[in-house]
Structure 1
Amino acid sequence: MNYIKHLNSVFELFTRDSRLNPTHISLYMALFQFWNINRFPEVFYINREEVMVMAKIGSKATYHRCLHRLHDWKYIRYLPSHNPYKGSQIQMLKFGTSSGSNTGPSSEQVEEQALVPYININKQNKNFNKHKLPKNENEVLDFFKKEKWPANEAKKFFNHYTSIGWKVGGKITILDWHSTAKNWMLKGEEIQKEKTLYGPSQKRDNLKIIKEKDYGQPL
């Protein structure tokens, strides 16, 4: 996935799509950033409060309305979860692919303008105080055991995020560590599939600079 071609194609669609308002675009870009932080998986878990803070949306009703609109207009696939202990999932539809076959909204644009929502600053500030972090390593071990993941992987997860202050990508404060852990597991499954298909990488040097930039990697 070439993220430069993807963003260029998306912004071109944004320009032509009269249905969109700034809140739709802000929400899409927040979802894109979480997709990027999770290294562009096929699907990833989201936490509503984290996305609302990133997108500068203060109203839950506005958030859900825009999320459903982006789904209906084929910018994303929204996979809601009705289980309070299991986060919802997002699939970012890919644009600007090498094959030229974009999956997204049609060229026929609906003449519909939504009102820009009023952002309640007080509600948004309250969201910053809801830091749902594990109490200790044992809580993480129990969660990974429940999800049928090895204890060693739980310790890696706990040590990694403890070392960076429990922030996604080292920048965004985690509000629901369960969603972050599930994204960690999804990425682990992808890595395992790659090893099964291609085998372990030989003579890998993570510090080696390459001339050809891989635009499928996170920003």
Structure 2
Amino acid sequence: MNYIKHLNAIFYKFYGDDRLNYAHLSLYFALFFYWNLHRFPDGFYANRTEIMKLAKIGSRSTYHRLIKDLSDWEYINYLPTQNPTQKTMVRMSQFCTSSSTETGLTGTLMQRYCPKNVPLTLYIKHSKQYKLSKERKPKNELEVIEYFKLKNWPSLNAVKFFNHYEGVGWKIGGKTKIEDWKAIAANWMLRAEEIKEKPKLQIVSKNTDYLITNEQKNYGEPL
């Protein structure tokens, strides 16, 4: 039994089965975990208490309804017993055989599960562009200046930005490596704009005498 191929096939079936809800899927994967734990035998003992805990099912009636649904819909074969000396067994249905054509799953994984009306090349192209767009640090100061010009940001800020992070080894807080310097540059400019918008503090002369005032006060009024 191929673990990966089986999961690919079962996800394919889940996608097209509107009878299922999240609780069915949770129970199925709890059973799948046990099946994997026992090295994929034909059948295994289903410990209801442990499986309910693993699947986050709090009610016995809900558990029995869900496991019966999975059995009726042929995702599993549920073999309950009324004999207290015998154990309840579960057999998992296999949806992926050695030949992918037997299950109708032909082609690569991307070809099988990507929407048919979207060309596969778009996924590949987008993925490559996303990876290339993330650069840990610029090649040199000139690259930073050119990028700031492209964004219509002041060149002086580009020089300050480069000198600051070049001095700290292109790390945040001196510890965490920068994953995308362009994103950090955008945050740098946001902070620069915030500082620019703050009102300038009034500079007060040291010789200012606060006791001298032109304001007329009535010292007879109570405080």
* TM-score, with structure 1 as normaliser: 0.45
Which of the pair has more CA radius of gyration? Answer: 2
Q: Which has the higher contact order (CA 8 A, sep 6+)?
A: 1
* TM-score, with structure 2 as normaliser: 0.44
